[in-house]
Structure 1
Amino acid sequence: MSKHSRRKKGKSARRSQSQSTTSSENFEEGFDVTDDGPIFEVKTSKVMGRYMVSRKNLKPGDVILSEAPLVIGPCTGCKVQCLGCYKTLESSFCTKCTCGWPLCSPKCKGLGKRFGHSQVECAVLKATKSSKFLNYDNFEEMRPNFNAIVPLRCLLLKETDARSYQHLMTMETHNEIRRNIPELWQTNQRTVVDKIRIDWGLREYSQEEIHSVCGILEVNSFEIGQQGVNIRGLYPSAFLMSHDCVPNTNHIDEESTFRLTVRASTRIEPGEMITLSYAYTLQSTLKRREHLLENKFFECQCRRCSDPTELGTFTSALICPKCKDGFVLSSNPLDPEADWTCSNYNKCPGYKISAKSMQLLLDKITQEVDNIDCNDVITMETFLKKYRNVLHPTHYINLSVKLSLSQLYGRINGFLIDELSDEVLTRKLEICEEIIKVFNVIEPGFTRLRGVTLYEMHAPLMVLLTRQFERHCTKSELRSKLKKVLKCLEEASVILGYEPESSPEGMMGVAAKDALVKIRDWEKILGRF
Structure 2
Amino acid sequence: MPTCEVCQQPANQICGGCKLVYYCSRPHQKLGWREGHKFKCCAFKIQYSDTLGRHMVATRDIQQGEMILKEKPAVIGPRISCPAICLTCGKNLDPKEYTSKWDYHKCSKCNWPMCSPECENAEVHKPECKAMTDRKYKCDIKYEGPNKVQAAYCVISPLRVLLMSQSNPLQYENIMNLESHLEDRINTPLYLVLKANLVTFIVQVLGLPFDEETILKVASIFDTNSFDVRTADGTKRLRAIYLTASMMDHSCKPNTRHIFMGDEHHLAVIATVPIAKGDLITATYTQSLWGTLDRRKHLQTNKFFDCECDRCKDPTELGTYLGNIYCSICNNPFSPNADGRGAMMISTNPLDENVPWKCERCDHFILSKQMVWGNNALKQDLYKLNKSDPKQFEEFIEKYSQTLHPSNHLVVQAKLALVQIYGNYKGYSLADLSNALLRRKIELCHELLEIADKLEPGWSKFRGTILLDLQAAMTVKTKRDYESGKLTKAGAQDELMESMVLLQEATNILRVEPYMKDTLEAKINDLTNFLDATAAET
Q: TM-score, normalised by structure 1?
A: 0.86
Q: Deviations over 1:143-174 (max 9, x none)?
A: 22211111110011111112211221221122
How is 1:270-349 mapped onto 2 (pairs within 5 angstroms)? Answer: 270-324=277-331, 325-343=342-360, 345=361, 348=362
Q: Which residue of 2 aligns with 1:22?
A: none
Q: Which residue of 1 aligns with 2:14?
A: none
The correspondence for 1:244, drawn from 236, 239, 251, is 251
| Distance in 2, Cα, partners of 1:279 & 1:313 | 18
Equivalent residue of 2:375, what SS? helix
How far is 1:48 from its partner?
Answer: 1.4
| Distance in 2, Cα, partners of 1:317 & 1:33 | 50
How far is 1:516 from its partner?
Answer: 1.5
The correspondence for 1:499, drawn from 483, 490, 513, is 513
How many percent identity over aligned positions? 31
- Alignment check: 8 A CA contact 1:280 1:288 kept: yes
The correspondence for 1:514, drawn from 498, 522, 529, is 522
How far is 1:91 from its partner?
Answer: 6.2
- Alignment check: 8 A CA contact 1:411 1:417 kept: yes
Number of matched pairs:
483
Q: Which residue of 2 aligns with 1:353?
A: 366
Cα–Cα, structure 1 residues 198 and 138, in superposed 2: closer, same or farther, change >3 Å? Answer: farther
How is 1:465-484 mapped onto 2 (pairs within 5 angstroms)? Answer: 465-470=478-483, 471=485, 473-484=487-498
| Distance in 2, Cα, partners of 1:135 & 1:469 | 60
| Distance in 2, Cα, partners of 1:57 & 1:263 | 14
Cα–Cα, structure 1 residues 128 and 138, in superposed 2: closer, same or farther, change >3 Å? Answer: farther
- Structure 2, unaligned runs of 5 or more: 1-31, 97-102, 332-341
| Distance in 1, Cα, partners of 2:251 & 2:57 | 13
Equivalent residue of 1:357, what SS? helix
Equivalent residue of 1:130, what SS? coil
- Structure 1, unaligned runs of 5 or more: 1-27
| Distance in 2, Cα, partners of 1:229 & 1:498 | 19
| Distance in 2, Cα, partners of 1:459 & 1:424 | 14
Identify the structure with bigger relative contact order (alpha carbons < 8 Å, sequence gap 6+): 1
Amino acid at match of 1:463: V
The root-mean-square deviation of aligned C-alpha atoms, in Å, is 2.5
How far is 1:34 from its partner?
Answer: 7.7
How is 1:66-465 mapped onto 2 (pairs within 5 angstroms)? Answer: 66-89=70-93, 93-108=103-118, 110-114=119-123, 116=124, 118-131=125-138, 134-136=140-142, 143-179=150-186, 181-202=187-208, 204-226=209-231, 227-324=234-331, 325-343=342-360, 345=361, 348=362, 350-465=363-478
Q: Deviations over 1:62-95 (max 9, x none)?
A: 1111011111001112233221222334766412
How far is 1:310 from its partner?
Answer: 0.5
| Distance in 2, Cα, partners of 1:387 & 1:198 | 55
How is 1:6-25 mapped onto 2 (pairs within 5 angstroms)? Answer: none
How far is 1:237 from its partner?
Answer: 0.7
Amino acid at match of 2:65: G
- Alignment check: 8 A CA contact 2:84 2:113 kept: no
Q: Which residue of 2 aligns with 1:21?
A: none
Q: Deviations over 1:28-72 (max 9, x none)?
A: 99xx97899431001111111110001111112111110111110
Q: Which residue of 2 aligns with 1:526?
A: 535
Q: Which residue of 2 aligns with 1:15?
A: none
Cα–Cα, structure 1 residues 198 and 336, in superposed 2: closer, same or farther, change >3 Å? Answer: same
Equivalent residue of 2:138, what SS? helix
Cα–Cα, structure 1 residues 141 and 496, in superposed 2: closer, same or farther, change >3 Å? Answer: closer
Cα–Cα, structure 1 residues 63 and 305, in superposed 2: closer, same or farther, change >3 Å? Answer: same
How far is 1:104 from its partner?
Answer: 3.7
Equivalent residue of 2:294, what SS? helix
Q: Which residue of 1 aligns with 2:338?
A: none
- Alignment check: 8 A CA contact 1:83 1:101 kept: no
Cα–Cα, structure 1 residues 312 and 485, in superposed 2: closer, same or farther, change >3 Å? Answer: same
- Alignment check: 8 A CA contact 2:178 2:221 kept: yes
| Distance in 1, Cα, partners of 2:487 & 2:115 | 60
Equivalent residue of 1:434, what SS? helix
Cα–Cα, structure 1 residues 91 and 330, in superposed 2: closer, same or farther, change >3 Å? Answer: farther
